[in-house]
């Protein structure tokens, strides 16, 4: 997994999207990935699916010519189905999407185009893969793990997070989750222990974690509650984590 990441084959250049003048603008990408995340939860797919789907979507988007919003949406749903086929024990079909009101005129044609654009390489290292390992090594509580997953999911919609390797995003998400739930020295020591075997730059981890934390504070609901002082950051993050565990993705409802 670490070797695959180091090869750079599956990396997505964020500048690809920032300098395009067609429908593939940052806002549209963010909206599409937010919907993808919501549909993943509605269909009860494994958490890993949305991370791989976002990677497939971004890689295909960088390699294909997309001329309208409908094609952009079709690409997102095809990426989700492909990721589910690859990872989930109960993969979804386009009929499942249709039951949610999502209709694709010719999904098989889009699927073939995506596979050709990716040279039939679906598997890719994602932040979920590393986060799962890091959380197990750090022996964190379920609340901390859920909060870290929530931060990592938020990063999928953030164009700036593409500038970090998946392992750094995973470590950054875990670091910021522990920042709100554990003493600083404990968090720092835990991140050092779990990342040292694959030689992750801790400065990059802190930079990514700081970015994720700042992005979270700009979330209207979290920011308002935090600024009004109605609840401590620790309790609020734990609440978000518990809601996440029980299926209420607060990040998508804000």
CA atoms of 244 and 37, how far apart (whole Å): 13
pLDDT digits (tens, 9 = 90+) for 150-205: 889 889 988 888 889 999 999 999 998 888 777 777 777 888 888 887 788 889 99
Q: How far is CA 246 from CA 1, 36, 164, 243, in A?
A: 30, 19, 29, 5
Same domain, 179 and 95: no
Same domain, 239 and 131: yes
Residue 250: predicted pLDDT? 41
Same domain, 141 and 242: yes
Higher pLDDT: 249 or 17? It is: 17
Lowest mean pLDDT among 123-137, 188-202, 224-238: 224-238
Residue 227: predicted pLDDT? 45
For 20, the domain range is 2-117
The most confident of the ranges 3-17, 66-80, 97-111, 198-212 is 97-111
How many domains are contained in the chain? 2
Average pLDDT over residues 3-30: 63
Same domain, 21 and 71: yes
Q: What global pTM score does this model have?
A: 0.82
- CATH of residue 10: 1.10.472.10
Residue 122 lies in a domain: no
Residue 19 lies in a domain: yes
Higher pLDDT: 124 or 213? It is: 124
Residue 129: predicted pLDDT? 93
């Amino acid at each position: 997994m670490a070797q695959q990441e180091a090869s750079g084959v599956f990396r997505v250049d964020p500048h690809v999207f920032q300098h395009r003048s067609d429908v593939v603008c940052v806002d549209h990408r963010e909206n599409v990935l937010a919907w993808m995340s919501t549909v993943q939860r509605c269909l009860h797919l494994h958490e890993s699916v949305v991370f791989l789907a976002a990677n497939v979507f971004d890689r295909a988007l960088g390699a294909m010519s997309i001329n309208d919003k409908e094609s952009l949406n079709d690409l997102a749903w095809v990426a989700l189905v492909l990721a589910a086929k690859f990872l989930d024990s109960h993969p979804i079909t386009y009929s499942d999407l249709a039951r949610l009101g999502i209709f694709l005129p010719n999904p098989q044609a889009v699927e073939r185009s995506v596979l050709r654009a990716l040279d039939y390489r679906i598997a890719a290292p994602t932040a979920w893969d590393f986060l799962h390992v890091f959380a197990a090594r750090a022996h964190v509580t379920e609340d901390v793990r859920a909060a870290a997953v929530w931060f990592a999911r938020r990063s999928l919609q953030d164009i700036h997070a593409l500038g970090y390797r998946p392992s750094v995003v995973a470590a950054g998400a875990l670091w910021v989750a522990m920042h709100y739930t554990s003493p600083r020295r404990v968090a720092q020591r835990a991140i050092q222990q779990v990342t040292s075997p694959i030689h992750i730059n801790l400065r990059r981890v802190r930079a990514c974690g700081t970015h994720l934390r700042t992005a979270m504070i700009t979330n209207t609901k979290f920011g308002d509650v935090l600024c009004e002082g109605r609840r401590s950051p620790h309790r609020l993050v734990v609440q978000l984590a518990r809601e996440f565990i029980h299926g209420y993705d607060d990040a998508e409802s804000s």
